[in-house]
Structure 1
């Protein structure tokens, strides 16, 4: 009986399907896009259109195939509060112009509604979880986060950033400083410095500020090329020898919330 049992176990082991190996790519890229309540419907539509147009551009298509492996994996996620993240396009392999254009076409299908609060920390944690077990093995892993305000709910942004960067993920930032949909009490005039000090991190991390919506598509195109090609950016590098992160109050958003509503909300 013991021999029969061993034989059956051996047969089952041989019959079990082999676990699929992750697909190798040059970069695994998470596009985290702000749809918090401070974003106007027009701004949300501009964001979708800007990413779609960038993905169709010759510069981005060339960047997709320019790496050592010649293909990348990308997902597009919209975020707001600590538990408000919505995957618009799940992980997809991009290798050709047709792949990039199909991704862009899917981005133009509908635009969701704005959601409450701004949790950059929640977005970072969600992006990191999305990278885990996504079926790809990238030479680089990057979370690209855009937003028009500071963290004001969920875990502290620096804690989330440090945890993500500590796991080998680079965080880049696209601070939206246009003020169109943001009330004055939520506005940070130097949001780019907040992102530089409190949000981005990892080797070669960078910030590209957007101060006018007319510049958004160009900023996204430039950012995607930098992230896909993996070249050292020339804009606000986060870490290099001799560089010092600017001093900034990384609780600025939480303090704004407390002043407006008379209570803490650090979690």
Structure 2
């Protein structure tokens, strides 16, 4: 009887496991138009954006799952950092450090945005318990190979996956409009514009603030 009481006490005193608020796949463009310096700007900027105090607080509090994808041309998309649960600031710092040091997989291929979305979308099966499924895709050019990204919109919607984007308008000034019309999808989906790679660190930080902090707060208010 004493043992039973002890087990029951442990059961009711043990706090419930915290639910995952957000599964966020960070999809980074490593196509041929991105040189070595620009790749470094993207990775360092993304790592620092994740370390932003407000972003990191929201990710840890929401027990987020993060994943990094490198993508370029057709059949060239790779998960370079698998789903990682951000259950502490140490976990967040380890993930950010991995992003900053992540070696580039490809250098001289085309831009297959649709295939990047398709492959990334399939990875959310592993984090089905998370409330929100979000792909954060960056790019400096239109899709010129493989399936068109707009052809995946219905499937993305049906699976509850939102796509936000950052358009790096280094050489294509109308890229934001292209991303708006063809790439983003889902409730509250948006595009952030960067005039060039030099603007990327500031823009990706603001983008993360909007989708991780502001959208999470809005979701909590509706519940």
Deviation of residue 65 (structure 1)? Answer: 3.6
Aligned to 1:34: 29
Separation (CA, whole Å) in 2 of partners of 1:62 and 1:207: 23
* Cα shift readout 1:145-167 (whole Å, capped 9, x = no counterpart): 11111111111221023321232
Deviation string, structure 1 residues 181-213 (Cα, Å, up to 9, x no partner): xxxxxxx32100000011001100000011133
| Partner-residue secondary structure (3-state), 1:108 | helix
Task: Tell me if structure 2 keeps the 8 A contact 1:118–1:150.
Answer: yes
Contact kept in structure 2, 1:61 and 1:96, CA below 8 Å: no
Aligned partner of 2:210 in structure 1 is: 226
Instruction: Deviation per CA, 1:226-258: give whole Å up to 9, x if none.
Output: 22235289xxxxxxxxxxxxxxxxxxxxxxxxx
TM-score scaled by length of structure 1: 0.70
* Higher Cα radius of gyration: 1
1:131 to 124, 129, 140: 124
Q: Could you list the runs of 5+ residues in structure 2 that have no partner in the other structure?
A: 1-16, 218-223
Aligned length in residues: 200
Asked if structure 2 preserves the Cα contact closer than 8 Å seen for 1:23 and 1:135, the reply is no
Give the aligned partner of residue 148 of structure 1.
140
* CA RMSD, 1 decimal: 2.0
Which 4+ residue blocks in structure 1 deviate beyond 3 angstroms?
none
Counterpart Cα distance in 1 of 2:71 and 2:115: 8
| Alignment partner, residue 168 of structure 1 | 160
TM-score (ref. length: structure 2):
0.83
Q: Quote the offset at 1:59 in angstroms.
A: 2.1
| Counterpart position of 1:53 | 48
